[in-house]
Structure 1
Amino acid sequence: MKQGNSLPLPRCPHCNIAKPSLNFGASITTADDRERNVRNWYLYKCSVCGGVTMATSDVFDARNASMSDVLEVWPAPQTVHDSIPQRARTFLQQAISSIAAPSGAVMLAASAVDAMLKDKGLKEGNLYTRIGKASAEHLITAEMAEWAHEVRLDANDQRHADEEGPMPDEADARKSIEFTLALAQFLFVLPARVADGRARASKG
């Protein structure tokens, strides 16, 4: 992926729309105090949400700076780790992709939480009860369980269009997704990374 008139990301890091039009807006070239580590910084604006994404690259030839390979992007597009079970991973990826439709995103995030807990053998009771049990079994921290009560995970209300339940907004959806990603980190991603690190250490 190279710098240019547009940034070819599969999704906007802000609104998660697929195949976004991220158009070049401004750039600056910087160096350190010894005129080394020369880098080119490009800003790209999403034509849908207006969010700005920044991409940086090394500058080897000032005349061709705009065609340098992109090294890093901020904010980084959200990804779902492969260590998360497939069913939960699919629900979570769909939640991230549909954040512009908050009710659907909350329901999908709750479905991802449900799938993760079931994978750990926690199948009885509602989501909050099972999250509490995960804390009691030290799969997650007590603070993590308390956090669950601060976010929207009322998937049942969304599916049945509870007339008394307030409709979630995009902020609610983002909080639900943030919690779900954190839960996935505790239950699957961190254990997988620890196992991988130990395996590599034993070979070294």
Structure 2
Amino acid sequence: MDQDAHLQLGRCPHCNVARPNLGRRTTADTWSSDQSNRRYWVVYGCETCGGCILTVSPWDPSGLRPITNIWPSSEQVDNSVPQRARQFLQQAISSIHAPAGATMLAASSVDAMLKEIGLKDGSLYKRIREAQAQHLITAEMAAWAHEVRLEANDQRHADEEADLPNEADARKSVEFVQALAQFLFVLPSRVARGRSESK
């Protein structure tokens, strides 16, 4: 991918809109004090949310500028998270702009994670309590999981007395599920990989 007039991304890393219109806003050349490490920077702006994306490429007099880094990058769920839970979580991240849907997907991801670690009986409520009782998650994580579960229940059952979640509410739910994924799958996977590499 090169630094063209428009940046081609599948989703905006800020608002997650699909195929965002990301136009070039400004550019800059930089180099180190000894005149080495010359780089070309471009800032792109999302026409939907107004968020900016920064890209960098090595400076090349021919004008070829393959992008080497993008900030912020789009959120991707680690491959160590089991497939079903990972898909629910990735879809929740991608649908933040539709908060009720993102909230329900976040709860589905929690449910899939708990089933993956062997807690398959009963309701999500029971599985969360069982995970806490078995010390698989902390009391604080269980309380947060229950918040996500209740938010999703309000949306699933179209509770007339419950407010619709906003984007901040959906982000909070997704944030918890990302933390749970790290705790249950990503960190243990990294530890196991690190230990095997050190042998």
TM-score (norm 2): 0.89
**Alpha-carbon distance in structure 1 between the residues aligned to 2:57 and 2:27:** 11
Q: Mapping of 1:5-84 within 5 angstroms?
A: 5-61=5-61, 64=63, 67-84=64-81
For residue 186 of structure 1, report the CA deviation from its aligned partner.
0.8
* Superposition pairs of residues 149-160 of structure 1, within 5 angstroms: 153-160=150-157
The correspondence for 2:117, drawn from 120, 123, 134, is 120
Deviates more, 1:171-180 or 1:138-147: 138-147
AA of the residue aligned to 2:58 = D
State the identity as a percent.
58
Q: Structure 1 stretch 136-145 or stretch 189-198: which is displaced more? A: 136-145
CA contact (8 A) 2:107 2:148 kept: no
1:138, CA displacement in angstroms?
Answer: 3.2
**Structure 1: runs of 5+ lacking an equivalent:** none
SS in structure 2 at match of 1:183: helix
1:87 pairs with 63, 74, 84, which one?
A: 84
In 1, Cα distance between the equivalents of 2:150 and 2:94?
Answer: 17
Q: CA deviation at 1:112?
A: 0.6
Deviation at 1:198, TM superposition (A): 2.2
TM-score by length of 1: 0.87
Q: CA deviation at 1:140?
A: 3.0
Match of 1:98 among 95, 98, 115: 95
Residue 190 of structure 1 is matched in structure 2 by: 187
Which amino acid in the other structure matches residue 16 of structure 1?
A: N
Question: Which SS does the other structure have where 2:170 is aligned?
Answer: helix
Letter of the aligned partner of 1:9 in structure 2? L
3-state secondary structure, aligned to 1:13: coil
Q: Provide closer, same or farther for how the CA distance between residues 33 and 127 of structure 1 changes in structure 2, counting only shifts above 3 A.
A: farther
User: Which sits farther off after the overlay, 159-168 or 134-143?
Assistant: 134-143
RMSD in angstroms over aligned alpha carbons?
2.1
The answer to whether the 8 A contact 1:3-1:68 is kept is yes
Question: Partner of 1:145 in structure 2?
Answer: 142
Alignment gaps of 5+ in structure 2: none
How far does residue 101 in structure 1 lie from its aligned partner after superposition?
0.6
* 2:53–2:71 Cα contact (<8 Å) kept: yes
Q: Secondary structure at the match of 1:154?
A: helix
Using the alignment, how far apart are the partners of 2:150 and 2:30 within structure 1?
A: 45
CA shift for structure 1 position 167: 0.8
Match of 1:180 in 2: 177
Contact 1:153 1:176 in 2 (8 A): no
* Matched residue SS, 1:19: coil
CA distance in 2, matches of 1:77, 1:27: 21
Q: Distance in 2 between matches of 1:128 and 1:53?
A: 40
**How many equivalent residue pairs?**
199
Moved more, 156-165 or 191-200: 191-200
Measured in 2, the distance between the counterparts of 1:7 and 1:108 equals 29
